[in-house]
Amino acid sequence: MLESTSSDRNVGLYIHDLSIRYAEQVVPLDALDTEEVLAERHLQLSGSVSGKIEGAVEVLIDQSYRPVFKAVKVPCRVIEVNRGRFRTDLKLHNGINRLQLSVVDSDGVVLDIKSFELHYKGSFREWNETIFIAFFLAIVIRSLVIQAFWIPTGSMEPTLLGEKREPFSHKLERNGDRILVSRFAYVIDLSLDGRLPFGPRIWLKKPARGDIIVFKYPDPDKTNPPKDYIKRVIGIAGDHILVENGIVYVNGVALQEPYIAEPPVTDFETVVPAETVFCMGDNRNNSADSRYWGPMPLTNLKGQAIFVYLPFNRIHPILSYPHNYLDQKAEAGGSEI
């Protein structure tokens, strides 16, 4: 922490026993760790000058600090030396404070120099950094790890319950489920939900049939505010989807769906395009899903619903319902559609 130089004119002259009064105690500078960050801005510096001295001497103190990029110098001050001892008040600035003590004689010749650094961080800056770090981590966790969502409607009942109100008074009768969504179940989104346009999306896997996913509604009107939807994946790219007589067929195979509220009353047929999935709500007759607004682009995918954390009486994991027999049918050759 300390550096010292001496003039040949006064061999043996040096500044020593430097200390600061910090936190109601006197601490020798040599005892301070070079990386220690002080929390007090106003300090008192003291030290001694000894050696063979001819005539009067003065101690000058130079101070500079670097708040952002450019170093700022504090006007040089003279410290009185009384019987070889000197004392002065210091006012530190945020960051690294570089200080230099110089002993000069009456002719202005430098006899000895001591240089040292003191690190200071004010409580305001500490709070700002803490808040910034917490905010940044919240964005990263929310965008990359896990995110909480609220179920406002009944489109996924009975699997997930939406908010329920009395039809006439609109009095709240039931809160919607609060769920956690895994953001890295399928993709690592380094764009942080588009906040960093240059950030890539690294795919880990694609959604499977039976998964419950959260995604940004593919609204054709880009001027509308974004909305998040939650649905179940029924078909993946290339699948033939047929809804007929209350039964959903995928590639000619009837789905076994114990999770739905009731069979769908309308018929529908499509083939799922590439880079999309076909989604439906478990409440088939009260769900705006891919039957009405089309396939869900994978670029809109946010994550997989994994857990209900509120209300307390409904805490449970959200499980997928894989239709493994569809893959087995495909491996066996399937049936013609």
| CATH assignment at residue 222 | 2.10.109.10
Looking at residues 75-81, what average pLDDT do you find? 85
Catalytic residue among 19, 143, 155, 290: 155
Please confirm whether the linkage preceding 225 is cis (ω < 30° from 0).
Answer: no
Question: Which of 97, 121, 145 is at the close of a domain?
Answer: 121
* Candidate from 49-63, 107-121, 149-163 with smallest mean pLDDT: 49-63
What are 281-333's pLDDT values in tens digits?
999 999 999 999 999 999 999 999 999 999 999 999 999 998 887 877 666 65
- Nearest Cα to 234, choosing from 295, 193, 183, 188? 295
> What pLDDT is stored for residue 304 in this prediction?
95
Which of 60-69, 204-213, 293-302, 326-335 is least confident?
326-335
Quick check: helix, strand or coil at residue 251? coil
Q: Is 155 a catalytic residue?
A: yes
**In residues, how long is the chain?**
337
109 against 250, higher pLDDT:
250
Q: Say how far residue 123 (Cα) sits from the centre of its chain.
A: 22
Which listed residue (231, 287, 290, 302) is catalytic?
231
Pair (81, 142) in one structural domain: no
Say if residue 147 is in the same domain as residue 214: yes
- Tell me whether residue 231 is one of the annotated catalytic residues: yes
Q: Evaluate whether residue 62 is within a structural domain.
A: yes
164 shares a domain with 193: yes
Q: Does residue 14 sit within a domain? A: yes
Same domain for 231 and 271, yes or no, is yes
Under the banding of pLDDT at 50, 70 and 90, the label for residue 54 is low
What is the pLDDT at residue 317? 95
Task: Say whether both 147 and 286 belong to one domain.
Answer: yes
DSSP state of 145: I
Q: Where residue 92 sits, what CATH number does that domain have?
A: 2.60.40.10
Enclosing domain of residue 49: 3-121
CA angle 90, 91, 92 (to 5 degrees): 110
Return the C-alpha torsion angle 33, 34, 36, 37, nearest 10.
150
Domain tally for the chain?
Answer: 2
Listed residues 121, 149, 179: the one ending a domain: 121
Burial profile 192-219: b = 16 or more Cβ within 10 angstroms, e = fewer:
ebeeeeeeeeeeeeebbbbbbbbbbeee
Q: What is the pLDDT of residue 310?
A: 92
**Residue 128 falls within a domain, yes or no?**
no
pLDDT score, position 270: 97
pTM score:
0.62
Same domain, yes or no, for 142 and 116? no
Whether 89 and 188 map to the same domain: the answer is no
